[in-house]
A and B are shown apart, each in its own frame.
Chain A
């Protein structure tokens, strides 16, 4: 195949960022868990608080997390995430964050790494129909960052 200079450049840039990412449609669950990193690399727990606050994850809308107590207003819809790293393995947590419905049937928790099978998907929060392909709520990297953080939430 002959690549023009431009497409080659694009391929290289994209390759650097995404070459290793497993796409949402290609994720393999076993008993709700995803055993391998979606990026092929460990996540950075330091980036998680922002994602879990008003970032793309918004986890504390529904969950209480003592370690994030400097962020106000934690929700009560789901259980506290304290001790999640003791209750679950890394693969199980990755599975819960990517698609909690694979672990908890009919869960209210949104699937953060899934792009199809939705009813009337919208274009973000505009109320209009989505155009083209949906992006997952979290990128592969963000999922890994959140999982790495959850693993630090150990029982005392």
Chain B
């Protein structure tokens, strides 16, 4: 085999072993209380649709080391909060041909956006499509503000997603999987159980069959997205769920799907629904 290939193998493992800090395993019984007051549900009974798969659902927070866990206990320590502040400025900034900011229509973000994150992705009736929060933000920008769309995983977009998500922090994830959303949900479920790439692995292989196990230096979680956008210590920025999906599929030596693609929107709906009942945690902190 060519040298280049041998040294590039299994980046998921290669990357993990760069962080040579011995994998201090998380205290899986620790509870997450943010700022001494917001009690987070990081472990609860699985929603009914998972009855044949898992009994309990667990936030990724439970699988992280003590040092990483602690960064999420207080907003002063949470490196993701800087980006929320930046998005707050943007919330009030007029952009586009209509002379409007987000605040022109939605006023105070804390009141108008409370509970929104918990139900996304969700079906949009007039558009007849399942929309992620990012799609909805871009729809407002384009059609109400007359402003440019933001790139799906750009820093500006993920920060805005974090600001809106923060207003639901502590509320249970509650995405609808029936009615008009059902076909997208089924499609997402199909993807979740499909094996991809030359390593021939599905999301379920790692996150349903093996959560709690070490894969090299990585402690496998259930791959929940209740904490997204996530601040990762590894790349020191906020990350969208679609970025994570892309990374995980790439690591199976597969051709990935693109952020914002129909496939990833469906997958986001399905993965979000696996976390129905966990608290919205964004912005969470992971390694």
Interface residues of A (CB under 8 A from B): 54-56, 58, 60-62, 72-77, 108, 110-111, 118-130, 134-135, 137-139, 142
Contact = CB atoms under 8 A, between A and B. Distances in A.
24 contacts: A54-B13, A56-B6, A56-B9, A58-B216, A62-B215, A72-B22, A73-B217, A75-B216, A76-B214, A76-B215, A77-B215, A108-B205, A108-B209, A111-B200, A118-B200, A120-B196, A120-B197, A121-B198, A121-B253, A122-B253, A125-B9, A130-B255, A137-B9, A139-B1
Nearest to A108: B205
Interface residues of B, number: 41
Given A61-B215, A77-B213, A121 B197 contact: yes
A77 B250 contact: no
Given A122-B253, A122-B255, A127-B256, A58 B200 contact: no
B10 A58 contact: yes
B8 A127 contact: no
A54 B18 CA distance: 11
Interface string B183-216: 0000000000011111111000100011001111
* Secondary structure call for the B interface: loop
B14 A54 contact: yes
A34 B97 CA distance: 69
Main secondary structure of the interface of A (DSSP, over half): loop
A103 B175 CA distance: 40
B140 interface: no
Contacts, number: 115
A10 B215 CA distance: 42
Given A54-B13, A125-B8, A127-B255, A110 B214 contact: no
A48 B63 CA distance: 32
B199 A55 contact: no
B246 A127 contact: yes
Given A56-B9, A61-B216, A129-B255, 17 more contacts: A58-B9, A61-B13, A73-B16, A74-B214, A75-B214, A77-B214, A108-B205, A108-B209, A111-B200, A120-B255, A121-B198, A123-B255, A125-B10, A125-B251, A127-B256, A135-B5, A137-B199
B11 interface: yes
B146 interface: no
Interface string B251-285: 11111100000000000000000000000000000
Residue with the greatest number of chain A CB neighbours at <10 A, chosen from B17, B195, B199? B199
Contacts of A128: 255
A129 B254 CA distance: 7
Contact of B10 (A61, A74, A122): A61
